[in-house]
Structure 1
Amino acid sequence: MSSHQNAYAQNIQCTEYDLLVDLQDGRRLSIPLSWFPRLQTATPSQRENYVLMGGGLGVHWPELDEDISVEGLLRGQKVSQ
């Protein structure tokens, strides 16, 4: 069984330098914001305005038009602009 199957986000937090994703299974992902140019240049309030999609399969930032999948994060997939 892949560790990517059934991986759902339950909480998202952005620090000055990192995107932190808490998964429902207890794991925490820490990814550099530099991987996500739109998030990196966003204001703190824009970063806080997110919606979990598909019960946590992905994250959407409406003000930034940014979508990130949990599976992509687990694969180490950077977002290109």
Structure 2
Amino acid sequence: MTTLEIDEKQLLVSDVQVTSHFIIFEMADGRRIEAPLWWYPRLYAASEAQQKNWEILPFGDAVGWEQIDEYISAKALIIGGAAPGAVPPARAAE
């Protein structure tokens, strides 16, 4: 059995986009990693201006929105899974 090892250089974020439905990390190697925005309730509830106020953290493998206390690593997007308390929009409307 072979296990894929992730090289830390593969986790370098070069840009971020937050749309009405997705968070997208543009990676330094040209990949795009995206996840549903509802996975991150604080970011989902933030204003457009707050969503655009992000910074790549010092090691380059994570992004922070200090104003709303949200921090997301590239590894978290690759592995997948919603943040604690995240509720799919269809369920939230019930």
When the two structures are superposed, what TM-score results if normalisation uses the length of structure 2?
Answer: 0.78
Of 53, 61, 65 in structure 2, the residue corresponding to residue 49 of structure 1 is 53
User: More helix by proportion, 1 or 2?
Assistant: 2
**If you compute each CA radius of gyration, which structure gives the higher value, 1 or 2?**
2
Deviations 1:32-74 (A, max 9, x none): 0010000111111000001101242111101100111111111
Question: Which sections of structure 2, spanning at least 5 residues, go unmatched?
Answer: 86-94
Q: Please name the residue that 2:37 is paired with.
A: 33
Percent identity of paired positions between Structure 1 and Structure 2 = 30
- Of 10, 16, 38, which aligns to 2:20? 16
Task: Pick from 63, 70, 78 the counterpart of residue 66 of structure 1.
Answer: 70
Q: Which has the higher strand share?
A: 1
> Structure 1 residue runs of 4+, over 6 Å off?
none
Indicate the RMSD between aligned Cα atoms, in angstroms: 1.5
What are the ranges of 5 or more consecutive residues in structure 1 without an aligned counterpart?
A: none
Question: How many residues are matched?
Answer: 81
Given residue 19 of structure 2, which amino acid in structure 1 is its aligned partner?
T
Moved more, 71-80 or 32-41: 71-80
